[in-house]
Structure 1
Amino acid sequence: MCVLPQPPTITHQSPKDFIIDPRENIVIHCEAKGKPHPSFSWTRNGMHLDIDEDPKVLMKPRSGTLVLDISGGERAEEYEGVYQCSAHNELGTAVSNSIILRQSRSPLWSKERISPIIAQKGQSLILHCRPPAGLPPPIIFWMDNSKSNSIVCVSQALNGDLYFSNILPEDSRSDYICYARFPHTQTIQQKQPISVRVLDNKPVDEREPVFMVPSESVKLLKCNASSFPTPAISWVKHNSEIPSGRASFLNFSKTLRITDVSEADAGEYRCIANNHHGSVHHTIRVTVNAAPYWISAPRNLVLAPREMGIITCRAAGHPKPSIRWLMNGLPIESQDPSRSVEGDTLIFSEVQTGSSAVYQCNASNEYGYLLSNAFVNVLAEPPRVLTLPNTVYQVIMSKPALLECVTFGSPLPTITWFKDSMLEGNAYVFHENGTLEIHKSHPSNSGKYTCVARNSLGLSENHVYLEVKEPTRILRPPEYREVQRSRDVVFECKAKHDPSLVPTMTWLKDDGELPDDERFRVDSDSLTITDVTESDAGTYTCIINTTLDQDSASAQLTVVEQPGAPTDLELTDLVARSVQLTWTPGEEHNSRIKKFLIQYEDALHQSGVWHNLTEVPGTKTTAHLKLSPYVHYSFRVLALNNVGFSRPSMPSRQYRTSPAAPDENPTEVKGHGTEHNNLVITWKPLTPQQANGPGLQYKVMWRQQAIETYWTSVSVANVSKFVVSGTPTFVPYEVMVQALNDYGPGPKPGAVIGYSGEDFPSAAPGDVRVLLLNSTLAEVRWSPVPLESVRGRLQGYKVHYHRERSLHQHSSHYNKQSTEIFSPNKTSGKLPDLLPYSIYSLRVTAFNGRGEGPTSAAQRFETPEGVPSAPSFFKVSTFDLDSLMLEWGPPYERNGRLTGYTFKYQTVNSKNDLGLLEELDLPSNQSSFTLHNLPHSTRYKFYISARTQRGAGPMLTEEAVTVLDRGTINALLPPRVVTSSLAPPLHTNVTSLLPPVAPAFGNVSSSMSKDGALISWEYWGTKKLLYVEYIIDKSDEDWHKEKVNGSQFHVLKGLKKGLAYKVRVVARGHDDRAVHHSEELLVKVSAMVSPQVDIATQGWFIGLMSAIALLILILLIICFIKRNKGGKYPVKEKEDAHGDPEIQPMKEDDITFGEYSESDFDEDHKPLKGSRTPSSGTVKRDGSDDSLVDYGDSGDTEFNEDGSFIGQYSGRSDRDARHDSSEPPSPVNAMNSFV
């Protein structure tokens, strides 16, 4: 990489006024940079400093820093002077400031004898300090041996003198000491102590304030005034305001301090001192003289050959500084035509290669100077892009993006930005330094950017990339929580961020770190605090940080608990029936008290039991309580907030009220009868607090209304009822109950009306009639009973009815009783939910409060026919390749005479759309039906309902599918041997040989192994999801299910030993609805599974198989010999032997088991696999012996619903018995076909 030449630049130097500590080595700094690296030289007091002449003077390598070694005892004064450093290379010379090196000094106070000062009380006094001159000047302060002088009537002047506005006797002291602290040497010098004695032997005359010494500082304005009493000081500025941000008042406003003084602070400042005797003011004129300060310091300039440029040097001060230019540390020459000086500006034109130099600008006035270096470097360089190539900038969406393009070149290159094309418009800002700014970033701004730098010598380009990221946002911020102490609280903080950024979550409590406590648990999107305490209350802040942005949200946690118990209960205003209670509330614990509950204890009647008395709002702390006589009261108070009740307060002192007569009588007085000749009077007794005194009794009074004039009364105690016997039946009585005690009776009670007891009604409703409204609803009508027969208050009528039997001849009897109740003003009512075609019986009674009266005469009626219930069952099975058989059972409730069945069916396509509906009427005595000539592999939906003369009942539905072809039948048939059965055949046709469809299962079996229960099955239905489901036998739990993946067996593992399980195989649709299921198997798991034994390796099995093999060999030899002998007979005899197949003997070969194949049906006309010939030894061979129907009609081949065979290998079939008796076979189907 090519290194560009550069003139020197001073980078670090010592201060202009350099005060040194004489106890340490002197280090004068001077550092510079440049290309090539500059060399350094020094001047001292304007003369060249030869470093080599003094061995104590060293210069650091590759640096201009001087080290003056005075550790050997040399005096620092010998090196005092004005130093200046120069840094030089082939392009110019840079110079440092003139550094004045001086040794710090801290001289001692001169020895002096100070006479004690005597002053009169109330006079002003000045204690002079006069510190010695030091370098730098010392810091002055006054102290005594006990305290500082921080009192209003004492202040310190800028020159160090101590002022007393009016001296007091307590100011008498012998140890006023002035101290001078010299900061460079860290030493403190002190003046001789000054003794002050204050006399108090004359009265003090008060006087107006008088200024003692005005201040002359431009930064600190002092205002010292004397008077008695001490005056108050204030400040104003003439025609302007005192700068509030930079002005401060010190020492009881006696000092005005202005920081960062500028020329605007010049003017007149007025100090005003006043007391109640008057005021006086003093004006201080402030003139701001300023050393030079920069307005615009000169800056380095890089020019190409024949370019022009300027260097400006602008400084201000008071008085205005003068500007002097130097080049390479020397006065500038005026004869160079490419350079001109115009005051504070250097103008360059048509610069040439080799005219590089360092220029110095010196701005000075009487208060100081400024010196600054600026170089002019004349270069001819093509553009260079200094920004790293392929830099990736990432920015958050809607935020500004800054893409840098730092370049160098001479002449100065121009920068152009591209993204697919040149960028321009208001959406972009092109900064002078080459930076591209996008005001508001959008995802469309992402991509590759190219910056191109051009000048007259060439161009350079660089590629950078911008990625605009989604902002981080807290979607669910934490929310305010109010939680009880010892509970847990969770703050949620869920955020969304750009997927490419990795977020970090930080939680703060009150803007600080979370406590180091294991109760605080931070999860990915929440903060959990367990076992909350009061110290956990505060503000919790969730901060989501990424490398580009952050978002935060805060929530407050308030820890609450029940309020503290009230205290300081006090009773006042004690009278016979009331008292005033006051208390002090306890702590609210961050939840406002809503109310106070006042309770009392009656130590006389219920000691230890507290009763609620009254409640008052939470803003009150007093309550006026109404009391009852003859109670020993103690009170306590509980406070309630949102959390709950506080603990009870301590009980108040006991207050006893005096006894009195009762204030009230018992309530809820009633009179009623429990028998037909009595009256029971009841009431709610008074509480001990209502008794008002000892000896509580109840005076019970009664008389028959409108009959008796005088009251009959009796007094009772400790009861709440009284029974009056011998009363007439159900007559009105006036009843009263009055309370009385040892101090008198209660108020006069009011009378209530009660009735004596009722008796059963004596008459039954008459003229009972039944009107049939329909087959399930009847209306009953009756005549009301006479009022005199009610013997009480009539409450209504009851109709008792029951179904005796159905009118169907095979119906059984029913005894279930039903009752309908009707109001007393009704003389008719309806009996709902009757069963049609039935005989009913009913009776009607009247009833009152005592019970029911006699029943009316029984009325029998018959309900008309209704529609029947659904058929008891409905199933569909295949009949042939193009046929389906339907079977059903009669309805459980015929509700009339069956007139037939309505049968409907329609096709269903793969989208579950229904085809044209076909309808058939079938007779009532038919229970099966076969559909022929149906298309192969077609799905059907069937409907069937029973009919009476009143119409059709509800339908049963079923679905089935016709099989695809004969090969499908062969594949579906299970390979098992069929045997004869003694059970009569249900339906003997080919349907019994074919598996059911819609879909169905067959050959479901189970076996136990060491791995579990092996369940196997065969499935002939359409494609469904198969599950093996199981449940513990006789349990109420849900079925467990395990999915089967395409096989026809499944192992159930994990079954518990010693239990029995119900198992079934279920076919489910995609909606998880069960379409079909197999019959349930009962699988028993033994408590201990015995080890499996391989039977093939057992000795007895091998011996048995050997014997059987030998026997078979002997039989084959015998058969071979007989066959050879049997071949020699005439053809005529052979034909005669085959003339009647019905009596043809069965050969031994017919017993052999052959393979089941399609040829068994079409070619050889052999029996079905597993079938046997009749025991009579004959085989029927007529014109239909090649049809499957004959075999389907055989009783030997009966199937269960799941397609399995019924029967064992023993016994004769019914068909054998029929052949023996020579009876013709009965027809099987009532209808073979229907076209």
Structure 2
Amino acid sequence: PEPGGSPRRLSQLSVADSGEYVCRADTGSVSREATVTVTVTSHDSSSYRLQSPIISIDPHSMAVAPGEDATFKCRVHDGARPINITWRMGPGQHLQDNVKISTNGSVISITGAHVGNQGAYHCVASNRFGVASSVVNLLVQGVPTVSVMPPGPVTVKEGKSLSLECLGRGEPRPLVRWSRLGSRQKVEHQTLLHMDSQAILQLLPAKPEHAGTYVCTAHSALGSAQARVDVSVETAQRHPGAPEVTAPPSVTVVAGDTATLHCTARGEPAPRIEWSKLRAPLPWQHRVVNGSLVIPRAAQQDSGQYICNASSPTGSAEVFVTLDVESKGVAGGSGCSWVRLAVSTVSFTPCCCSAPPPLLYAWDKVNGSLSARAIHRAGLLRINPVLPADAGTYRCFVTNRVGTAETFARVAVHGDAGDSGDSGSGPLTVRVTPGSIVQGVGSTAEFACIVSGDPRARLEWLKDGGAPHFSPSLTPPVGTQQTTMPPPYLGGERGAPQKPHCPVPPQKALPRALINIRTAMQTVLAGTAVELECLGLGEPRPHVTWSKVGGRIRPGVLVRAGTLTIERVERADAGQYRCTATNAVGAVQSHVILHVQATPQIAGQPEVKEVSVGSAAVLPCLASGFPVPDITWSKV
């Protein structure tokens, strides 16, 4: 050894002797050290010689108060020597001046931590066989801070829009909310994004009463902070030539029909009309004709708020029009199932029209008036007792906001309720069993008409809208008359007029499933609540169930009485949900897509790679979130 040196000899080396050896010289006032790395390879295995580093960071995470110190050590557990260790922070951040790294690179120290030190610290270990990376998070907890954009004071013209954005920072993450100075009432028109500690106040449009001082408060368990913005509203000056725009506030159409949203504007010079849709693009097949927005073959996803904007060199004005697209085939094609004939008492089964509520039912008698003995409630008409004067054609008329539908039934009265006859038998009654029947094409349908009370009664069958295509077979039992034939038929006088304006389906009908939302897609913020309601319509009343397409509804999601409720939406809840309505006739389904908005998350950390000069370097970065996040790169 050289003068002043201290040799170190290791005999009969083993793999366990591999590691880093430190020689430290200390004079009492000055200390110096040097390191040497010893790698001992196994004779019977080559895997160790080709092994990339295996590392971890101790501690795994740390939370400190402002001004406190923090230290992390990157430990190397295995890997071929030599191993190079470096530290860096996440994208967009760099190591602050109060951060120190030890000589061998394994220890990083933060002295007097502040908010700028908060974030993720990456330890990157590399050798000639590969690279390993480990991440640790440092939280600097303290009283929250708050900032407002624009900072104010702010002046806005009457009728224009104004947005004030408030952002809170700190750990733990603060809750942010707007309030108005001197008012105890809750400020409306504010959007709270709790996950981002953000609150957006929107004045749409600005009015003179909106003027005042608005306060944004950020609150956490460690304290609170406030920022104020003074808002003044300039009263709009009316110019003689400024545009004046008018349009109906709402338009309702049936799916598949053409939706026309009218808009007119006056002014000098003549204003220009432009259309847009709130928070969504205009339907791709739209066109503008003489200032009116025309949407052919409107679908339910076209529902929403549309904006008609009229502008000219003297100013501009706008108006909102709400378009509501209802499900197709509920008006004008709805079915009413009925017809029951009896003497002494007559009761019609309900006039059943499947359509979006509210429904308004009305009854009248064609070429006559309803009897004082007729009672109608919604779709049910009851006459008690029935007299010969009650014979005729009755109409059920149904109206909703989409349109109208009507159907007819004919009543024929046989015999005299007050005539007991010479036979001494009771009043004449007619009964058909079963009341309805559903059969496939080519099969056989059989039902019976039973007459009792008067043996002199003559029985005949008529087909609604025409004559039967075969002769019915009569098999009358004692005291009754019975016949069988294929449906549908109505009992009554031959040749009487019949005007069916509404198809007559069987009493049992295929169910319908209606999801009670405006569009086929629903977008919510992660952490908030969402409720999806499904209405099952049909006879018999259908049973409604919910399922998730391509997955399962997670535990904790409440499904009750056709309503699916998620109290706190998670990112995993996103997807397509199916509502199924089932009864004895069959099943139908309706779908809705749930989008969950969430802050971006980096799913795959960029790798550290060594490449040769002139070759290509590919660094992947995978991020998730909704809407789909934009990925940008920067060099630290």
Taking structure 2 as the reference length, what is the TM-score of the superposition? 0.27
TM-score normalised by the chain length of structure 1:
0.14
Q: Of the two structures, which has the highest relative contact order with CA contacts closer than 8 Å and spacing of 6 or more?
A: 2
Q: Normalized per residue, which structure has more helix? A: 1
